[in-house]
Structure 1
Amino acid sequence: MKLTRDLTSEVQLRLVRPSDAASLCEAQLRSREQLAPWEPRRTDEWYEPAFQEARLTELLGNDRIVPWVLSEDDRVIGTVTLSNIVPGPWQNGDLGYWIDVAQVGRGLASAAVAAVCELADTELLLHRISASTRVDNAPSQRVLAKNGFVQYGFAPEYLHIDGAWRDHNLYQRILNTRPPGQPAP
């Protein structure tokens, strides 16, 4: 199974490696203020390479998570993750993503989400991808809309983000209507 894609001539979507920890920490620290409204509160440990290396190793050992990085010149400039992957009759995964504040505006989030949708369909054989955004996260909602996601619900106090329980809009994209786990003909 090949889970990499070139997003541009310089940027690749590839599976994360434990050796990405230091570069990931640099990007997250640079983007800390930008990401704060959209993520759980992070302790200082979160930004330490040793902590991230252990976390990345754990993620790679979980068959219900596929963690990607956006890599440019072997530097991490964002991540995309499919988590809570459920096989069988549901064939679903939950999407999360962020882009380094220094890279915003290049269309990378939209390109990465498109690539993950294609990989989820053709390689992971999922039927559906779900995503959620805080109700006031218009940029992320635009990325989802560009990639064929539709809002199907609203969840009050859905996730504990930026220090409080926050309302979220719920989105989904149906990738195919094949029987569960079947490849495209």
Structure 2
Amino acid sequence: MVSTRLIDMEDAAALARLVTENRDFLAAFEPTRDDAYFTVEGQRADLAGALGAYDRGLGLPHVITDDAGAIIGRITLSGITRGALQSCSVGYWVAEAAGGRGVATTAVRRMTDLAFDELRLHRVQAETLLDNHRSRRVLERNGFVRIGLAPQYLKIDGRWQDFHLHQLINPRG
């Protein structure tokens, strides 16, 4: 069964292997990464930043695991904002070999449940590249609706790209 759990510094080696194995596959969906990112030390630095945001209440970084507990991706609630907004963004990636089996759909469902039930947020936002049909289907299966277009929203794969914006409002109030 696919699950998620809070990241841990001990995940650095496994994540370094996974991002290295999926470097070409993920490049079209990620910012340009320098070679250091794909090392254990680079992953430790990334995890330290994510855990720092977690400690400040600004993020909830998880790994996605398979039936055997092996890491097959990452998913994060980021930009957690309190006050009148009560919102966050969800971002995720799944290893190429794990794609097409409902892994991302299950992980997004798990994280939106955490956002609404544990964090008591009102809204979760997600962004997809215009041609990322698989990710858009993941969001639709989880009840997200497209709410707009953000021109030149993020610098992905070395260039500023347009994104569709999606949101899910807490159905439990």
- Scaled by the length of structure 2, the TM-score of the pair is 0.93
Q: Deviations over 1:33-81 (max 9, x none)?
A: 1111111011100001112112212211212011000123343110100
5+ residue gaps, structure 2: none
Report whether the alignment pairs 1:151 with 2:142: no
Give distance in 1, aligned partners of 2:50 and 2:93. Answer: 17
Residues 66 and 83, structure 1, Cα contact 8 Å, conserved in 2? yes
Aligned to 1:181: none
2:133 to 131, 138, 145: 138
Aligned to 1:129: 124
Shift of residue 106, structure 1, vs aligned partner: 1.5
1:35 to 21, 26, 37: 26
Aligned to 1:70: 64
What amino acid is aligned across from residue 67 of structure 1 in structure 2? Answer: P
Give distance in 1, aligned partners of 2:31 and 2:45. Answer: 19
Matches within 5 A, 1:8-157: 8=1, 11-62=2-53, 63-72=57-66, 73-157=68-152
Shift of residue 27, structure 1, vs aligned partner: 1.1
Moved over 4 A (4+): none
Residues 30 and 101, structure 1, Cα contact 8 Å, conserved in 2? no
> Could you tell me the percent identity over the aligned residues?
42
Residues 128 and 176, structure 1, Cα contact 8 Å, conserved in 2? no
Give distance in 2, aligned partners of 1:161 and 1:58. Answer: 20
> What is the count of residue pairs matched by the alignment?
169
Whichever structure has more helix as a proportion of its residues is 2
- Scaled by the length of structure 1, the TM-score of the pair is 0.87
C-alpha RMSD of matched pairs (Å): 1.2
Give distance in 1, aligned partners of 2:79 and 2:86. Answer: 10
Residues 68 and 81, structure 1, Cα contact 8 Å, conserved in 2? yes
5+ residue gaps, structure 1: 1-7, 179-185
